[in-house]
């Protein structure tokens, strides 16, 4: 299973000493970026070479427990569904065995020059399907 590990830093917390919730969205985006790198299609290749992007279409987040300065969070990403141009995922952040948040983003594969959804290329679709089967 893919895991992206992050330490909560001073810049991530509010005056109460817990993660300021908008910072979680940056961490979720970083997890998506790390996951694409993990399956062999990093953002550098996707965006700069091939001219594609994966903007967020929608997201739902359940904040379970607060995270604090110096906590280490393990973000996992599961692909829950894949459509013609969309990828639905579940991202879970844990500190040790405690769930801190569960996010359910929907990403849309787009051609950047037109900013319109396009079919996920077959080579990428195969990488995602292999990940879903636990082969990457």
Question: Which pLDDT band holds residue 135 (cuts at 50, 70, 90)?
Answer: low
- The answer to whether 106 and 116 have CB atoms below 8 angstroms apart is no
Give pLDDT, residue 136: 58
Whether the per-residue pLDDT at 11 is higher than 90: the answer is yes
Give the pLDDT score at 115.
83
1, pLDDT greater than 90:
no
Using one digit for the tens of pLDDT, what is the confidence trace for 38-97?
999 999 999 999 999 999 999 999 999 999 999 999 999 999 999 999 999 999 999 999
Question: Residue 134: left if φ>0, alpha if ψ -120 to 50, beta else—which one?
Answer: left
3-132: CATH architecture: Roll (3.10)
Among residues 2, 3, 10, 28, the alpha carbon closest in space to that of 71 is found at 10
pLDDT in tens, 80-134: 999 999 999 999 999 999 999 999 999 999 999 988 999 999 999 999 999 998 8
Q: Where are the domains of the chain?
A: 3-132
SS3 for 108? strand
């Amino acid at each position: 299973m893919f895991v992206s590990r992050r330490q909560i830093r001073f810049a991530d917390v509010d005056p109460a000493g817990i993660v300021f919730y908008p910072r979680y969205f940056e961490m979720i985006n970083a997890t998506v970026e790390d996951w694409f790198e993990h399956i062999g299609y990093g953002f550098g290749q996707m965006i700069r070479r091939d001219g594609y992007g994966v903007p967020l279409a929608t997201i739902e987040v359940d904040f379970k427990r607060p995270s604090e300065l110096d906590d280490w969070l393990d973000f996992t990403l599961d692909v829950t569904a894949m459509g013609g141009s969309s990828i639905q995922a579940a991202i879970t952040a844990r500190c040790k065995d405690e769930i801190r948040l569960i996010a359910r983003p929907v990403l849309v594969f787009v051609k950047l020059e037109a900013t319109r959804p396009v079919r996920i290329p077959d080579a990428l679709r195969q990488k995602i399907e292999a990940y879903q089967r636990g082969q990457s």
